């Protein structure tokens, strides 16, 4: 099974960014851990990070060759209709993930415009959110 892991804006800042909310691990460290977890489950991961909305849209449009997408769209989650439309446009299933529990934070984070077109949402388990998304594809 081949999965594409997409991380959106500011997730490249993990480790430095609001460690009280997001922890002290870097995105590289989380990705290396996830790659190991995936290998043990027989899945192969490809990683993509961008701070640019259109690049995330393009990555989703090009996800045909993957069995699924694990997407942390960062703040775009809450207002990007372009990312929502890209998810709706492709057949590859997308699972929405968040490190933090977006429902326990500011009101604007409680809205996800992408959730209705995603296969499911996992929020609040730190890096484990990514593993839970991975397991959701493997069964
Ligand atoms: C986030 C939650 C978003 O609200 C925020 O804008 C992020 C990270 C998370 O992983 O918890 O950038 O997606």
Delineate the domains of the chain, giving CATH numbers in brackets. Answer: 2-138 (3.40.50.9100)
| pTM of structure | 0.98
**pLDDT per residue over 2-14, tens digit each?**
999 999 999 999 9
86 lines ligand 1 (CB under 6 A): no
Q: What is the mean pLDDT of residues 84-102?
A: 98
DSSP states along 42-107: T-EEEEEE-S-HHHHHHHHHTGGGSSEEEEE-GGGGGT-HHHHHHHHH-SS-EEEEESS-GGGS-G
Best probe residue, ligand 1, of 77, 103, 114 (max atoms within 8 Å of C-beta)? 77
Catalytic residues: 22, 98
In percent, the amount of the chain with pLDDT more than 70 equals 100
Residue 73 has pLDDT above 90, yes or no: yes
Q: What is the pLDDT of residue 46?
A: 98
Q: Please give the number of the atom of ligand 1 that sits closest to the Cα of 78.
A: 4
Residue whose CA is closest, atom 7 of ligand 1?
A: 74
The upper half-sphere exposure of residue 63, i.e. CA atoms within 13 Å in the direction of its Cβ, equals 31
- Tally of CB atoms within 10 A around 56: 25
Cα–Cα distance, 93 to 52 (Å, whole number) = 21
CA atoms within 13 A on the CB side of 91: 4
User: In angstroms, what is the span from residue 123 Cα to ligand 1's centroid?
Assistant: 9
Residue 70's pLDDT band (cuts 50, 70, 90): very high
pLDDT score at 139: 87
The mean pLDDT of the chain is 98
Tens of pLDDT along 18-69?
Answer: 999 999 999 999 999 999 999 999 999 999 999 999 999 999 999 999 999 9
């Amino acid at each position: 099974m081949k999965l594409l892991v997409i991380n959106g804006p500011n997730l490249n800042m993990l480790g430095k960014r609001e460690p009280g909310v997001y922890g002290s691990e870097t995105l590289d460290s989380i990705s290396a851990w996830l790659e190991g977890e995936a290998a043990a489950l027989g899945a192969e991961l490809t990683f993509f990070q961008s701070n640019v909305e259109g690049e995330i849209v393009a990555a989703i449009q090009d996800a045909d060759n993957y069995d699924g997408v694990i997407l942390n769209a960062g703040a775009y989650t809450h207002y990007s209709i372009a990312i929502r439309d890209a998810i709706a446009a492709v057949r590859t299933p997308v699972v929405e993930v968040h490190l933090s529990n977006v429902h326990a934070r500011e009101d604007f984070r409680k809205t996800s415009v992408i959730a209705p077109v995603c296969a499911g949402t996992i929020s609040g388990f730190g890096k484990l959110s990514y593993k839970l998304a991975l397991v959701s594809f493997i069964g």
